Structure 1
Amino acid sequence: MDHKTEKKALIRKYINGGCTAEETVQIKSLLSTDDLSALFDEVMDEMASSNIDQYNEPDVAQALVKFHERQSAENIEDSETKILALAPKKIKLRRYLSYAAAILVLIGSISILIPRLNKTSQQNALVQHFENPKGKRSRILLPDSSVVYLGAGSTLSFPSKFATNLRAISLRGEAFFEVTKNPKRPFIIHTGNVVTRVLGTSFKVDAFLNQPVSVLVSTGKVRVDREVNKVLHPIAVLLPGQSVVWNEKTGQHELGSTPVSDISGWKNGKLVFRKTKLADIAAILERTYNVVIQIKNPLLAERQIRVNLTTDIPVSKLVKILSVAGNFKYKINQNHVSIF
């Protein structure tokens, strides 16, 4: 085993919390070397690529808590922190060391969890709310030049100025995101208990009240977690064309795949349904066109339909196309559609 491989093995052991006292001392001596950051990145990439479904970005605050407990138990006089696996690509070790040093100086005793990172200048920024009624979609430019295509019946909240260490927003409803890349400032979307985290990519999120949350990735890599008692629990890490649906009621998630063109096309009004229940299609059209759609036959509501639609045409024409694909009859009276 060469010297580089030995170092990487030691780093991997340190990440997993298996170092002896002597090995911990050895790690600390390596922290001042120039090549440790690069080696650390290599180890993280190897661990992430070996099992992407178990990807878990290190949480500095949580790491500090665990290290503090270990420090008290072992009576080790040191201010170094323990870093948790796994880290995303390109995140440098010295970033976490700087966070750790700053927190140790400021708070002395450590009793913090994930939201601690949110307690920055972003708290003092003016929060902006954008709410689209049914029948309306909008394009919103965020303070970091990221673009959000907010769907009908959806609400977006974000600060007038993002924090220096992260970009956090809240969404209820559906939106397509084109996030400006910034490895030093993760972009985080809060949708109920689900937290979606990226560094710079494009993806779509569906998160309507009392409905399962879905995340579909167009470009880049997206991490999806569930937050419970201020602690993140991994759900999935997604690459282009991959998707996940999280059901809060059942506590289950379902991984899937969707053509990238279907995901990115949504922002331009493209609606692609591949074996989708008519009842689910109707719910989307009600929100998109601000109409009421009533399906008379329960069996018809469960019928699965394959059809491509676009929202730049009148609802009357769209329902006509849908009726051909779904083999049903309909009647339109102003903003009320009856399907039978």
Structure 2
Amino acid sequence: MEKRESNIDYEFLLRCLQSPADNELQQALTSWLQQASENSRIWQELTTLWELSGTAVAWDGIDVTGATKRFSDRLAQLHGYTMPFFRLRWLYLTAAACLVMIMVAIGFWPAKRQYQSAQWVTKATQENIDSVLLPDHSKVYLNRYAVIRYPIAFGASATREMTLDTGEAFFEVAGNPTQAFIVHSGNATVRVLGTSFNMRVSKANVVVTVVSGKVLLQGAGNQGMVLDAGWEGLLDPGVDTIGKRKADPNISAWKTGRLIFQDAAITTVFRELSRYYRRSIIYVNPKPIKLTSSFNVREEKLEDVLELLSAVLGDISYEYRGDTIYVRHRKIKI
């Protein structure tokens, strides 16, 4: 058998599969794929194994050490490559989805085992924005301090269900008319078949903003409300009521890295800047002023954006006190 190159970083490739929204990783992957035609073949094989994991069923009592050794031997046969044992074991312990993928790939799936319901994975973010590739290849982008729980396999179930415990997430749902995609959060339930939407969970309410397609937002004791693209629903969990309003155009700015203002009230601009930059901005003496043209922000420093606004509006000035920024019109002192 012809030996393949032995310097393949499989750990890197698996990270690429798990993090489709990591631009740096995906750019590195593109560069690696362009280096040799053999790389594309290896990537296709790993992608196929990953896709197979979506129909797998997890069970307790997996022999991690034995499975790791078998997978290492299998890779050696396929690629002429021996992955360091400790690196494979680390992959098993830190990526449950990869574990299922590996078990399916090597054919080590005992028919006589007592199968159990799919195991669940918890993904939590801290001071970072991250993403998750679900077993059905739906993508979930997690804002800072978000917690989501999902099964490592959906299998033949009639639904694809998960829970957003807290925080904010953007969902790009893979279309599947036979498996409804359902997100739970406390009393709130969002049901879709194939769409993209943003969901923000707080103690005060649950806000669902539809970017494409339609979703059904339901509470614990109501029939719910269908939301079309461009609209958002607000569920008050205390009284189990749902309100509806036009979508905030900057609801997913945390994901896109871009704010867009078109004929926006200056109070709205400062509120969105405060949320986007995570800085307290207090507009001391607000005026009913609107921007008369479009105003876009994309990864600029907050100080530069404020100076630009000052130049546009003329009489705006700022005072910085610790992490708080006070905004005033120059004729009135703080």
TM-score where L is the length of structure 1: 0.51
The Cα offsets for residues 94-118 of structure 1, whole Å up to 9 and x where unpaired, read as xxxxxxxxxxxxxxxxxxxxxxxxx
Say whether 1:212 aligns with 2:205: yes
Aligned in 2, Cα 1:213/1:320: closer, same or farther, shift over 3 Å?
A: farther
> What CA distance in whole angstroms lies between the structure 1 residues aligned with 2:290 and 2:116?
45
Secondary structure of the residue aligned to 1:330 is strand
2:133 and 2:313 map into 1 onto residues whose CA distance is 37
Alpha-carbon distance in 2 for matches of 1:305, 1:224: 33
Q: Distance in 1 between matches of 2:163 and 2:118?
A: 16
Secondary structure of 2:223's counterpart equals strand
Give the one of 134, 149, 161 matched to 1:142. 134
CA-based RMSD of the aligned residues comes to: 3.6
Does the C-alpha gap of structure 1 residues 327 and 279 become closer, same or farther in structure 2, counting only changes over 3 Å? farther
Match of 1:245 among 234, 259, 266: 234
Alpha-carbon separation, structure 2, partners of 1:168 and 1:147 = 14
The Cα shift of 1:199 comes to: 0.9
1:219-230 equivalences under 5 Å are 219-228=212-221
Which amino acid in the other structure matches residue 127 of structure 1? V
1:331 to 2:323 alignment: no
TM score, norm. by length of structure 2: 0.51
Matched, 1:152 2:158: no
Deviation at 1:239, TM superposition (A): 1.9
Q: What is the distance in 1 between the residues matched to 2:174 and 2:205?
A: 27
- Structure 2 CA distance, aligned partners of 1:212 and 1:325? 34
Match of 2:255 in 1: 267
Specify every segment of 5 or more residues in structure 2 that has no aligned partner in the other structure, as ranges: 1-114, 329-334
Distance 1:289 1:312 in 2: 10
Q: CA deviation at 1:279?
A: 7.7
Letter in 2 for 1:129: K
The answer to whether the aligner puts 1:255 opposite 2:249 as a matched pair is: no
Taking the aligned partners of 1:269 and 1:122, their CA distance within structure 2 comes to 41
User: Could you tell me how far 1:122 is from its partner in structure 2?
Assistant: 8.9
Secondary structure at 1:316's aligned position in 2? Answer: helix
Q: Which SS does the other structure have where 2:194 is aligned?
A: coil
Query: Matches of 1:202 and 1:217 in 2, distance apart?
Result: 6
Native 8 Å contact 2:180 2:192 kept in 1? yes
Q: Secondary structure at the match of 2:224?
A: strand
Given the superposition, is the C-alpha separation of residues 151 and 321 from structure 1 closer, same or farther in structure 2, using an over 3 Å criterion?
A: farther
Cα distance change on mapping 1:334 and 1:272 into 2, 3 Å: same
Counterpart amino acid of 1:211? A
Structure 1 residues without counterparts, runs of 5 or longer: 1-120
Q: Could you tell me how far apart the structure 1 residues matched to 2:242 and 2:265 are?
A: 18
Deviation at 1:308, TM superposition (A): 4.5
Structure 1 residues 322, 178: closer, same or farther in 2, change over 3 A? farther
- Equivalent residue for 1:310? 297
- Cα distance in 2 between the residues matched to 1:304 and 1:251: 36
- Is the counterpart of residue 198 in structure 1 residue 195 in structure 2? no
- Alignment identity in percent? 29
Query: Which letter maps to 1:269?
Result: G
Q: In the TM superposition, what are the counterparts of 1:27-176 in structure 2 within 5 Å?
A: 124-133=118-127, 136-163=128-155, 164-171=157-164, 172-176=166-170
**3-state SS of 1:318 partner:** helix
Change (3 A) 1:294 1:269: closer
Counterpart residue identity of residue 156, structure 1: I
Q: Quick one: distance in 2 between partners of 1:122 and 1:281?
A: 51
